[in-house]
Amino acid sequence: MRYRHLTTLVSIHVLVSIGAGAAQAPVQGSIDLLRYGTIFLAEVQSSEVANGPAGSSWQTMHARVLVSKILRDKYRLGLVPGEISAVIQQPIPSIGVRSNPAWFNRPIQPGRRYVVFSDSKEGVQTMIEKPDAIEPVTPLSDVVGDIELSLAAAPLPVFDQASELAAALNAPQIRSALLAQHIAAILAVGPDSDTAYLEQSLEQREAQVFPGASREALLAYLAQFLGRSENPKQNLIRALIDVTVRCFIAEPQTANSGPTRLQRQILESGLVNILNSPPALQALREAINSREVQKRFKVNAAQCGSDSRLPPVLQARARQFLSLIGDEHR
C-alpha cells in the first residue's frame, strides 16, 4: 500500500512493533523532530561569562543570539528572525550535567550556529535559554537542509517519503544523523515494496554521505529498530547487515590503531540485535559471500577477539562473531 502514512517522526516507537524485552535506550543525542512545536536556526553573535556562586554546577553566559531562520512554528507564535539577548545557565562538565542538559558541552561562542528545538510557548528568549534540544550546525553536514526535508516529507505517504530520502542520498551533500534517523524509521515501518529504492540508494551511497559520527548514528538507528521489531522488514535487515559488514571489515587507519569506533559499536550493541533476530542472523551469514570479504571479516574478527584494548566481553563477542560464519567460509 503506497498510501500508508508515517505521520510523525516522534511516533516511531508506536509505529514499530516492539517486542517484549526489546526496549532500548535511545541513541545518544537523538532528536524526534515533530516532538517540538518550534525549531529555528540561531547564531551566537557575542557572549560573556559570569560565573555562578562558588561550587555551583553551572556558569552564566550573557549572549546575543541572532535567530536567522524559523524552521517550524507549529503553535503559530508569529516568530520572525531577529536578535535576542539571552542569559543561559550552562552546565559545568562533570558537575552540572543534569542542569539545562541541552547546553551541556556546547560552546557558546561568537560564530557558533545551532538549531534550537523547543516545545515551549513562552517566547524565543526562553526557548534559547532553556531549549529542549539543540543541534550544532557545522560545514560537515547539511543539518538545516535535512531538517527541512524531513519536516516537509513527514506528512507524506511512506512511498513518497522514501523517494524523497533516496533523492537526498543521491545528492552531493553530506547528510546528518537527523536524516539517518528518518531513513531508519522509514525502513522499519514501510512496506518493502515502498522502500526498495531507498534501501538500494543507502547501500550505494551511505559511505559517501554519512561519514564519521553520522555513520555511527545510522548504524545505531538501524540496529535499534531491528531490536524493537517483532517482524522486521527485509529492507531494514538488508540495510543493517550491509552497513555492519562494510564497517566491520574496513581497514584501520594505521596497522596498530586497534579496533575502530564502528567495530567497537558493532560489538557493543549491533551484534546483540543481530543475534536476537533469526532473519538478520541468516542475512549476515549470506552477506559474507566473497573470498575477499570472508578474508577481511576473519582477520578483523580474530584481531578484535584478542585485542586487550577491548573489554573481555567485547573480545568474546568478536570471537562469537567469527563463529557465526560457517566452516565453508573459514
In the chain, where the domains are located? 12-30+141-329, 37-131
In sequence order, the 6+-apart residues with CB closer than 8 A to the CB of 14 are none
Query: pTM of the predicted model, to two decimals?
Result: 0.85
Please report the pLDDT score of residue 33 as a whole number.
86
User: Looking at residue 101, what is its pLDDT?
Assistant: 86
Side chain identity at residue 209, one-letter code: V
168 CB-near residues (< 8 Å, 6+ apart): 146, 149, 175, 179
| Cell numbers found for residue 108 | 557558546
Position 140 scores a pLDDT of: 87
CB environment 297-330: b (16+ within 10 A), e (fewer)? bbebbeebbeeeebeeebbebbeebbebbeeebe
In whole angstroms, give the CA distance from residue 65 to residue 77.
19
Instruction: Record the cell numbers describing residue 253, joined without a space.
Output: 587507519
Q: Nearest Cα to 263, choosing from 278, 281, 245?
A: 245
Region for 7 from its dihedrals, namely left if φ exceeds 0, alpha if ψ lies in -120 to 50, beta otherwise: alpha
Helix (H, G, I), strand (E, B) or coil at 73: strand
**pLDDT at site 51:** 67
- Can you tell me the distance from the alpha carbon of 101 to that of 95, in angstroms, rounded to the nearest whole number? 11
pLDDT reported for residue 30 = 60
Q: Could you tell me which CATH number the domain at 37-131 has?
A: 2.40.50
What does each of the 330 residues of the chain score in pLDDT, given as a tens digit?
Answer: 343 444 434 333 323 322 323 333 344 446 788 899 999 999 999 999 986 666 677 788 999 999 999 999 999 999 999 999 999 988 876 654 566 789 988 999 999 999 999 999 999 999 999 999 999 999 889 999 999 999 999 999 999 999 999 999 999 999 999 999 999 999 999 999 999 999 999 999 999 999 889 999 999 999 999 999 989 999 999 999 999 999 999 877 666 788 999 999 999 999 999 999 999 999 998 998 788 888 899 999 999 999 999 999 999 999 998 887 654 444
Distance between CA atoms of 147 and 142, rounded to whole angstroms?
Answer: 9
Distance CA 303, CA 301 (A): 5
User: d(Cα 115, Cα 110) in Å, to the nearest integer?
Assistant: 15
Determine how many CB atoms are found less than 10 A away from the CB of residue 84.
Answer: 17
Query: At how many degrees (to 10) do helices 143-153 and 158-169 cross?
Result: 160
Q: How far is CA 141 from the centre of its chain?
A: 13
Dist. CA 262–CA 246, nearest whole Å: 10
In sequence order, what are the residues at sequence separation of 6 or more whose Cβ sits closer than 8 angstroms to the Cβ of residue 99?
57, 58, 89, 91
pLDDT at residue number 100: 74
